[in-house]
Structure 1
């Protein structure tokens, strides 16, 4: 579900023509739909029914404060992977007791900040991290609840770079190691082990790997309890896929909810999930404008003012994004193989190769669909390009929620040394 549709021959975001945004804000610009964010969050809630589940939004998928605040207003917590994301979540209105801190390489400074804010949970991924956290929390006079991220050796996800549950992955710890660390944690000051966590990858449509991972967790809970350990919480991670191509059917959320109910609910534990992309991907588009068209070696190119620094997924993951003209094409217009690229000095700055689409003229507005996840949050200043603006739409209202970066802001932190 996305609230971006053609009306009267123009692409709209909810009840706002996106051309209006482009003309007033410029391009490239990200546009987010509050209604789409709300729809996907509520769809997850509905799939889980009356289960005792806490939903912690994966901030890394979209770091804009307006997006986080929109979800926080619905009761969402935050799944974070850095001190910066914890600070973002709190600033956007997420209560610290709803924040989870994940990640394989947390620094001492980050752990100090997380503990000092009394966050809900820290997910532990190594013995060094466990002992460091114990020292930090003890020094601060705190007791931090922790879970151990276990590695079920289950491969899942839409790309090798987002598959995180293999036994050779940098993430998590083995089942055997988890038993050792759970017992070790119970002897340490400053930490309280309360459960386990798992996250096997992203862009999961087939539910079988998730079912396998949940069964792995359930058996671990039984084994831990049989050895006298208390287990009151399971973090099921995220990974449910967003749909980038309309002809592809997404994960069956009702069936997923039934799997959670059948495997996890009988364990009488607090359940947490950490969705990101499934909520935000289809809630955002990236508006761009064509600069020039050209032909080289029999291939037709359209060069946009958006580039891989604005939306890196196609270059980095070979990812697909539907590309729509803001002005609705006339029905029956012949489609031609077109290669869509950005202006950056890299051949890899390519969004689509020989894609069949209606002709794009110079100075024409286009929209990359399903760009709300890992779009702006992965953007950079490569080629000294300013970061794009971000806009939030709510019904017939819209507002700039992050202005376009200026060159003074890009260069303002730099200093030329005086070696005299």
Structure 2
């Protein structure tokens, strides 16, 4: 078992897995910034919504959403190339610019617009030349952006390692010398992607975007982007934590592409006034980020053991904001057979019940906006569905999780108390 866990931890530290995680973390601020405007637009006050519609402010607030979710693939391709080049101690910014150019070489310069004939009601599709479809650079282009970012940066490093650069005299300023050094690697990388674009044009897919989305992203999103994918994601995080592995970092490194694509698609749908295509990933973080351990933290205030009483006071300020490390290591949860059972069941029950109450209409569905995971869960739920029922349901979930943990907590507290008495007797 130890060797197996060591291999898993080693896998997360592999260069490309680490680049994936670092790359998505580096653009998290962009996604969150766009979500803030989503949240402002979704405040469920009738007068506010009327003001947004009549004043034009609603259209203005949609712009930050569009330049984040609708252009997410552009941020991703730059971030992936930047992080990979930096891991080889190369110029990350130059690699990012070359990756962006490579991605645009693969991007079709045609877009389609749809209009309805007022006389016949027929849908008319018009192809616009020298235009870029937002779907190609938005959520549907994220998987291709990952591939292009990594491949172009690796080619950039490869060409530099082979000495494909114009060496300038030492007297030339470094910024000028860097420009000439990157010309040959950048040009060679562009040639590679031009060849890929031409090859794609000979296939039935026509473009690299259509190929990657059709054979990779769409199938993965159907499997991992749905309700079952969220459950597996939540459970695996908890299982790894029980073995002393930071489950969030490990599972996120593998799931970030799906999470990013789902979040971007939800935000784009929200900006367009459409239902969230991946609602599970909208409420998943708010429901399960730290509700279970917050419930356990609250139970510790009635503990008889000194250990849990002290931990209850110390950990509560962080538990309220879904920062779980004090509870994880203070309890401890690692290799904890008793509390490990509700620890794993908590996200499953929370997600299933949330899906149920939303399906039957007791709680409003999420709008597609996203919020910071460090916002207290009841508030986060209210922001995500722009409705008071989200806040109430967040409180109800805390109570449900307290009931789930309660019998297991009594056993753990009894054992902790017995150990404390044994230590006192020995002293």
TM-score by length of 1: 0.24
TM-score by length of 2: 0.24
Higher relative contact order (CA 8 A, sep 6+): 1
Larger strand percent:
1
Larger helix percent:
2
